[in-house]
Amino acid sequence: MKRFHIHVSIDDLNKSIGFYSKLFGCEPTKRKEDYAKWMLDDPKVNFAISSRGAQPGIDHLGIQVENADELEVLRERLKSADMQTLDEGETTCCYAKSDKTWVEDLSGIAWETYRTMEDADIFSDTASEETVCCAPESTNPEQVGCC
């Protein structure tokens, strides 16, 4: 089973948590001082927000899978579409340990395909506190400047 993922950068975390909690009818399933996530079943979505200094708006989109086989299928689809991908592999980002591959769509929107293995206590294992998110600045491995 796959779950659609949306990550939105926001200005005020507490106000945004209040708004989205009312919209979704529930509190976040994960909440940190700079991050919140709702794992919703109706609609089936992993919706995350963070206040790490990025311009407010859509940060990145993604498809979260439950197992390694599903992730490999998505990776193969991206390769068959002749898209430049960045296989990040196992990493810690957004308070979770995951296996990820990134791609940019034709409009330049970052998409991640990933499988989460477990929760983590830190936002990222490679990003500094100043890093706004784990989405790479480019899917070109020679130009990657983010985690």
> What CATH number did the domain enclosing 8 receive?
3.10.180.10
- The answer as to whether 33 is a domain residue is yes
Are 71 and 30 a contacting pair, CB within 8 Å?
Answer: no
pLDDT at 11 over 70: yes
The helix (run of H) or strand (run of E) holding residue 77 is helix 68-80
**Cα–Cα dist 46/4, whole Å:** 6
**pLDDT at 89 exceeding the cut of 80:** yes
Prediction pTM value: 0.75
Residue 137 has pLDDT above 80, yes or no: no
The confidence band for 144, taking pLDDT boundaries of 50, 70 and 90, is very low
Query: CA of 89: how far to CAs of 11, 53, 62, in Å?
Result: 30, 25, 15
Domain with 101 in it: 2-119
